[in-house]
Amino acid sequence: MTSLKIATWNINSVRMRRLIVERLLNEEAPDLLFLQETKCQDAQFPSSDFRKLGYDHFALNGGRGGYHGVGVISRLPLVDVHSRDFCGKGGDPRYVSVAVEVGGQKLRVHNFYVPAGGDEPDPAINDKFEHKLRFLDEMKAWLPTASPDMPDIVVGDLNVAPYEQDVWSHKALLKIVSHTPIECEKLEAVREAGGWVDVMRKFVPMDDKLYSWWSYRAKDWRAADKGRRLDHIWAHPALAEKATGLRVLKDARDWDRPSDHAPVIASFKF
């Protein structure tokens, strides 16, 4: 029996928060860590610091301007790495995927940072929201074809909390970007188009609250607990059957200089 442990985390600047990335690697020891919003070009990524911890393999898409950015830190050799642009926006680094071999089986993991969408949920007056909707549409059309020869997993900051119990108040957030009906419908359409299983909701009943993000604006975020589930792990049905555990590492929201997102960790047995 072979195990696989993966983590996804919007780190909100990997250089600024390198020490808590190291803490996660030391304390949780994931086989692969998928980061979003790395905010650095590939040459600036602190790979040498992570190599000292036994992580020798990297897949980076940091673009040219140091904005957005996604990356993969791995203890496992990477069989294949792929990145691409979305919505015809070159230099807008929001996707990278890797293929690995676990227990004699190859699988691909897609790492996404979906656009946040700005503040106004109207594509006619907010080009950031229009970009987000187009991005989700392109994901729906392309992603199910992106791994034709092996089962796959989708992870990342998808910037949508799709279900009622994924937000602190469904009623209060219906007109707030990340939980508007059109975003929720489009994200569900992406998941259903590829037939992926929502691994987080496999372990946490749909009637239970489930968050991965808490705003910096709250003076006491834990007491207020006005969270949203913006970070996701989906798996091909054959892989979802092998999932053995799921955790949102909520305590990381209290670490030194924290991200406003908490890591999401899933375990599998092959």
Render pLDDT for 118-130 as a digit per residue (tens, 0 to 9).
999 999 999 999 9
Q: Is 131 left (phi over 0), alpha (psi -120 to 50) or beta?
A: alpha
Residue 234: beta bridge partners?
154, 198
Percentage of the chain with pLDDT > 70? Answer: 100
Pure H helices in 18-162: 18-28, 47-51, 127-142
**All structural domains of the chain:** 3-269 (3.60.10.10)
Please compute the mean of the pLDDT values over residues 248-269 and round it to a whole number.
98
Please compute the mean of the pLDDT values over residues 152-171 and round it to a whole number.
98
Q: Using one digit for the tens of pLDDT, what is the confidence trace for 94-153? A: 999 999 999 999 999 999 999 999 999 999 999 999 999 999 999 999 999 999 999 999
pLDDT at 1: 83
pLDDT at 127: 97
How far from 10 is each of 68, 90, 124, 158, 169, CA to CA, in Å?
Answer: 10, 21, 28, 10, 23
Q: Using one digit for the tens of pLDDT, what is the confidence trace for 13-49? A: 999 999 999 999 999 999 999 999 999 999 999 999 9
Please compute the mean of the pLDDT values over residues 57-68 and round it to a whole number.
88
| pLDDT of 65 strictly over 90 | no
Q: Which residue has the higher pLDDT, 95 or 90?
A: 95
Question: Would the pTM count as exceeding 0.95?
Answer: yes
pLDDT at 180: 98
